[in-house]
């Protein structure tokens, strides 16, 4: 198993991908706060949990063979990719508590709270990912004699 295949890193990569996609949807909602008949969207957290379960099942069944790594332009690229990177989550309609007279259902206050909460969760996952990689690097260093 490669260090990057550790289940905790898989969990954190999936989390980063989810929160990145969600931030994009929330930013779109805020940008359309004055658009007539616009209904805000959000990504259900259940989608993240399903994607995470599928990814962890796939990691558990993957072989522990040594993987090929391309480190020069002429090398053959390894197959596969990072979990959570490029995964598409489906945004669903999620009207806020108020609708204006022009039919817009975006409440800037609610959207900003969601965006801030999402940012905090993203930064937490990123910090944990960096710390986990640091621990793996430290464990992989040769012991000085």
Chain centroid to CA 6? 16
Model confidence at 3, pLDDT cuts 50, 70, 90, reads low
35 or 96, higher pLDDT: 35
What residue spans define the domains of the chain? 3-140
Instruction: Give the pLDDT confidence of 9-36 residue by residue, as tens digits.
Output: 888 988 999 999 999 999 999 999 999 9
Instruction: Give the pLDDT confidence of 106-136 residue by residue, as tens digits.
Output: 999 999 999 999 999 999 999 999 999 999 8
95 CB-near residues (< 8 Å, 6+ apart): 39, 40, 105
């Amino acid at each position: 198993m490669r260090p990057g295949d550790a289940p905790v890193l898989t969990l954190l990569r999936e989390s980063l991908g989810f929160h990145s996609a969600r931030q994009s949807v929330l930013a779109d909602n805020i940008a359309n706060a004055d658009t007539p008949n616009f209904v805000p969207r959000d990504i259900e957290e259940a989608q993240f949990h399903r994607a995470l379960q599928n990814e962890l099942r796939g990691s558990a069944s993957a072989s522990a063979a040594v993987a090929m790594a391309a480190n020069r332009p002429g090398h053959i690229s390894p197959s596969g990719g990072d979990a959570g990177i490029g995964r598409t989550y489906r945004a669903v309609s999620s009207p806020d508590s108020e609708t204006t007279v022009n039919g817009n259902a975006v409440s800037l206050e609610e959207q900003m709270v969601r965006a801030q909460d999402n940012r905090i969760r993203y930064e937490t996952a990123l910090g944990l990912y960096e710390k986990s990689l640091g621990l793996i690097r430290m464990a992989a260093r040769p012991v000085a004699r």
